[in-house]
Amino acid sequence: MCLPESDVRAPQTTGGKNGDITNANRLGELFDEALSILGTAGPEFKLCSDAITELKTRLTEERFHLAVLGQFKRGKSTLLNALLGEAILPSSVVPLTAIPTFIRAGETRRALVYFDNGVPPRAFEAEDAAAIREFIAQFVTESGNPKNARGVTQVDVFSSAPILRQGVVLIDTPGIGSTHRHNTEATLNFLPQCDAAMIVVSADPPITEVEVEFVRQVKRRINRLFVVLNKIDYHTEADVREATGFLKSVLADKLGFSDAHPVFPVSAQMGLNARQNADADLWERSGMHRVERHLSRFLASEKKAALSEAVRHKAAGVVEEALAQFRLMLRSLQLPAEELDRKRAFFRQKLTEIERNRLVADDLLKGDHRRTRARLEEYIDTVRAHARTGFRGIVAGALARNADTQQAENDARDALAEAIPVFFEQKVGQTSAFLREEIEAVLTPHQSRAEDLVESVRKAAASIFEVPYQPAGKAITFDIVQKPYWIARTWSTSLSPIPEGFWDRFLPEGVRRRRLQTRLDNQLEDLVISNAENLRWAMLRTVDETFRHFRSTLVTRLGETIAATNGALDSATEKRGLQEEQTASLIHEIRETIRQLENVGHSLRPPSTEATR
């Protein structure tokens, strides 16, 4: 790097190199420095300091979500207990219900159970892990909550386990597999919201075809992925080596796994015993130390680096905005009174023009909102049509398979109860993907229009008052608002048992069958309508919330930028009555503040842009 000396601004108050900016502590220090400068600068800088405070909170509170996946009884819950160092999650030889458990960092051990149908969550706090485990078991086991009759949607467990303090949320997911096939779909739908996944298979039996297929699906949805081969305590060392080698070769051959997706042979059970008895040697022998190390080193640090980068970038924009305000204040103080008034009038005129542009942008946005809703409605129409054809086929299949009408009916009911949730969970995934693409295509042009609008305020001020203009680069983003985070959805599957009429039994077999078919088809139509409505309602809400959120972000950002610019001008106008000396000292003070803030801004900028500055 060869620059004239005056261009290289050595950060004086901040020191250090830009290269270590991704270090969260260093970033925290820079935020504190910006806050102390802005804190003494007057109320017109409150928005900027609020924005920095918010970024600082994000830096400490953002969480990394790791989903633990796999078939029933592979040892997912035991493995999580081992990582936590206590048996807080129920583990069992019988399958548990389809409810995800989120394990979060907390001061005390407690659990929160969420229900559907607006029932308020239930909280439970206890000293020991076993009490929490028993409490949760009432909601997540088939015996405590058969077929999820209590309508539980999610369980949150809070623990003070050290691993959680690194900013990881662990998610114990319902097992995948043929017994509850729609769990697999629900789990897959949830993955895009996770940062990483750990797949648990066991040494005995070796990985099955179903599991290979599942891993393939997972890999399509999530990059950061690793595999744990559990229950190695059943085997000799040589067997474990062989099983690990086999697993690795299957994953490499069938799914193209590389070293980026490691495989860890462990005994979760041994690991849990080791933690409960504080036996460091056993912990190593269990293989769990490698999983733990991998988690804390690789995953947590990667997430932290990405987050720091995003937060740093935003903070640099906020500092740039504050600087623009200070420069404007400085300039206004130096202007003769009439000149300042004239320029302010001109700026007000510009704002009226900008407001007109905003109304135009808003109309376009409303139109696109309507069109997106209409596109979704068309999509849901096709879902209904698919469902109808598919389910009728299932009924026809059952009728063809069974000579006995009653048996055919029972068969049809069972087959539908299995197929309906799978079908609709799949549609949730597909419709979400469709919406995501649709919304992205529609909102991207609005996003740049919105950014231009906000920047036009700053540009106008810069050109009217003849101060340098620097785009703040604080992007207006749109988040696709998908709520709730994960719901264990309930799909209606049961055809209400309308008994065959008494006289039907005396009808010829062919007529009885046709009557059954009509009866089932009518009921099917109800199921199609009510389930599709469930889907439609959730997706429409996503569309509405996303547009609403985008719109309010724009209005807020525009309002803030105008308020900040006017604040700087007001403040300068107010100070007009000051003595010449006082004005001179104020100007000196502002110059000093600008210098300090420029140093912070310089340290916040990524090293790559350093050379061009």
Ligand X SMILES: Nc1nc2c(ncn2[C@@H]2O[C@H](COP(=O)(O)OP(=O)(O)O)[C@@H](O)[C@H]2O)c(=O)[nH]1
Site stretch for ligand X (CB under 6 A), options 76-84, 157-165, 176-184, 352-360? 76-84
**Which residue lies nearer to ligand X by CB, 66 or 472?**
66
User: In DSSP terms, which residues pair with 158 in a beta bridge?
Assistant: 104, 110
For residues 318 and 471, the answer to whether their CB atoms sit within 8 Å is no
Residue 77 or 432: which CB sits closer to Mg ion? 77
Cβ 82 to ligand X, closest distance in Å?
Answer: 8
Q: Which partner in Mg ion, ligand X, none is near 22 (CB below 5 to 8 A by kind)?
A: none
Does 74 participate in binding ligand X (rule CB under 6 A)?
A: yes
Shortest approach of ligand X to residue 85 CB, angstroms?
15
- Residue 230 binds Mg ion (CB under 5 A): no
Q: Which positions ≥6 away from 77 have C-beta within 8 Å?
A: 89, 90, 91, 92, 172
Question: Do residues 251 and 261 touch, judged by C-beta distance below 8 A?
Answer: yes
Name the one residue in this structure whose structure tokens are 């750990």.
Answer: 198
Which CB sits closer to Mg ion, 76 or 474? 76
* Measured distance CA(13)–CA(6) in Å, rounded: 18
Among 18, 154, 230, 372, binds ligand X (CB under 6 A): 230
The 3-state secondary structure of 441-491 reads HHHHHHHHHHHHHHHHHHHHHHHHCCCCCCCCCCCCCCCCCCCCCCCCCCC
Binding mask 410-449 for Mg ion (x = CB under 5 A): ----------------------------------------
- List the single partner that 427 binds among Mg ion, ligand X, none, CB under 5 to 8 Å by kind: none
Contact of 252 with 260, CB cutoff 8 Å: no
Alpha-carbon torsion, ordered 37, 42, 45, 50, to 10 deg: 80
Least distance to ligand X, CB of residue 277, Å:
16
Print the binding letters for residues 379-418 with ligand X: x by CB under 6 A, - otherwise: ----------------------------------------
Torsion of CA 288, 292, 293, 294, to 10 degrees: 100
Q: Using the rule CB under 6 A, is 222 a contact of ligand X? A: no
Q: Which are the contacts of 484, defined by CB distance < 8 A and separation ≥ 6?
A: 153, 154
| SS3 labels along 252-311 | HHHHCCCCCCCEEECCHHHHHHHHHCCCHHHHHHCCHHHHHHHHHHHHHHHHHHHHHHHH
Look at the alpha carbons of 14, 20, 22, 23 in this order and tell me if their dihedral is positive or negative: negative
Judged by CB under 6 A, which of 24, 29, 54, 92 binds ligand X? Answer: 92
Taking the alpha carbons at both ends of the chain, their separation in whole angstroms is 11
Cβ 243 to ligand X shortest distance, Å? 13
- The binder of Mg ion chosen from 14, 49, 77, 187 (CB under 5 A): 77
> Which does residue 596 bind out of Mg ion, ligand X, none, counting CB within 5 to 8 angstroms by kind?
none
Q: Tell me how far the alpha carbon of residue 580 is from its chain's centroid.
A: 56
- The window from 71-79, 122-130, 237-245, 381-389 that contacts Mg ion (CB under 5 A) reads 71-79
Cβ neighbors of 185 (< 8 A, separation 6 or more) are 421, 422, 425, 426, 428, 429
**Is the dihedral angle over the CA atoms 374, 378, 384, 390 positive or is it negative?**
negative
Query: Closer CB to ligand X, residue 11 or residue 265?
Result: 265
Among positions 167-186, residues that touch ligand X (CB under 6 A) are: 175
Which of Mg ion, ligand X, none does residue 269 bind (CB under 5 to 8 Å by kind)? Answer: ligand X
Q: Does 101 bind Mg ion (CB under 5 A)?
A: no
Q: Does 267 bind ligand X (CB under 6 A)?
A: yes
Query: Torsions phi, psi of 17, nearest 5?
Result: -100, 155
Q: Is residue 426 part of the contact set for ligand X (CB under 6 A)?
A: no
Other CB atoms within a 10 A radius of the CB of residue 214 amount to 22
Distance of alpha carbon 19 from alpha carbon 510, whole angstroms: 80
Least spacing, CB of residue 81 vs ligand X, in Å: 7
**What's the rounded Cα separation, in Å, for the pair 289 and 283?**
6
Considering the complex, state which of residue 80 and residue 225 has its C-beta at the smaller distance from ligand X.
80
Nearer to ligand X, 72 or 124 (CB): 72
Closer of 77 and 187 to Mg ion (Cβ): 77
Structure tokens that stand for 412 in this block: 């049809």
Indicate the pairing of strand 110-115 with strand 122-125.
antiparallel
Find the binder of ligand X among 11, 75, 287, 421 (CB under 6 A). 75
CB of 205 to ligand X, least distance (A): 13
Residue 369 touches which member of ligand X, Mg ion, none, C-beta under 5-8 Å by kind: none
Binding segment for Mg ion (CB under 5 A), chosen from 38-46, 77-85, 415-423, 584-592, is 77-85
187 binds Mg ion (CB under 5 A): no
Report the partner that residue 93 touches, choosing among ligand X, Mg ion, none (CB closer than 5 to 8 A by kind): ligand X
141 with 89: CB under 8 angstroms? no
Q: Which stretch binds ligand X (CB under 6 A): 19-27, 227-235, 443-451, 458-466?
A: 227-235
Q: Which residues bind ligand X (CB under 6 A)?
A: 70, 72-78, 91-93, 175, 230-231, 233-234, 267-269
